[in-house]
Structure 1
Amino acid sequence: MHITLNGEAREIAPASTVADLLAELDLIGKRVAVERNGEIVPRGQHGATVLAEDDALEIVVAVGGG
């Protein structure tokens, strides 16, 4: 299945969830913000949000510092 992730085309397994994608990207447990087709996906919905063909996602990882 084709999606766009942070502006780049990407192939993922059918019926993947946001949580599956985060695991594939090794981002589980990190502070991330996920936007799907222009709408924020709350952290509590990552496991229940199934991705669809041609979804556009933006994932931003929070970086600490000071």
Structure 2
Amino acid sequence: MKVMINGEEKTFAESMSVEALLTDLGIDPRKVAVERNLEIVPKSTYADVAVGDGDRLEVVHFIGGGC
């Protein structure tokens, strides 16, 4: 399946959950927000929401900082 992630096309062997996709990419699911096809995916549903061929994902990392 082909998926657009942050504007870059990626290819995966099969459909998977948001959580599995993030893990496959080496991303800690606890530290990102995910938008799938223009809708925010609640963190509590990452394991249940399937990513399929043609989906468009935006993954935003949280970065701490300050004084």
> Shared fold (TM-score greater than 0.5)?
yes
3-state DSSP class of the match of 1:35? strand
Unaligned ranges ≥5, structure 2: none
Q: Which has the higher helix share?
A: 2
Query: Structure 1 length normalisation: TM-score?
Result: 0.91
- Corresponding position: 1:47 with 2:50: no
Give the 3 Å change call, closer, same or farther, for CA 18–29 of structure 1 in structure 2.
closer
Change (3 A) 1:58 1:29: closer
Between 29-38 and 2-11, report the one with greater CA deviation: 29-38
Residues 25-66 of structure 1: per-residue CA shift (max 9 Å, x gap): 222254211000000000011000111110000000001111
Query: Tell me, what secondary structure is at the counterpart of 1:22?
Result: helix
Q: Once the two structures are aligned, what percentage of the paired residues are identical? A: 39
Higher fraction of strand: 2
Contact 1:37 1:57 in 2 (8 A): yes
Report whether the alignment pairs 1:57 with 2:57. Answer: yes
Contact 1:33/1:59 (<8 A) preserved? yes
Runs of 4+ aligned structure 1 residues displaced above 3 Å come to none
Equivalent pairs counted in the alignment come to 66
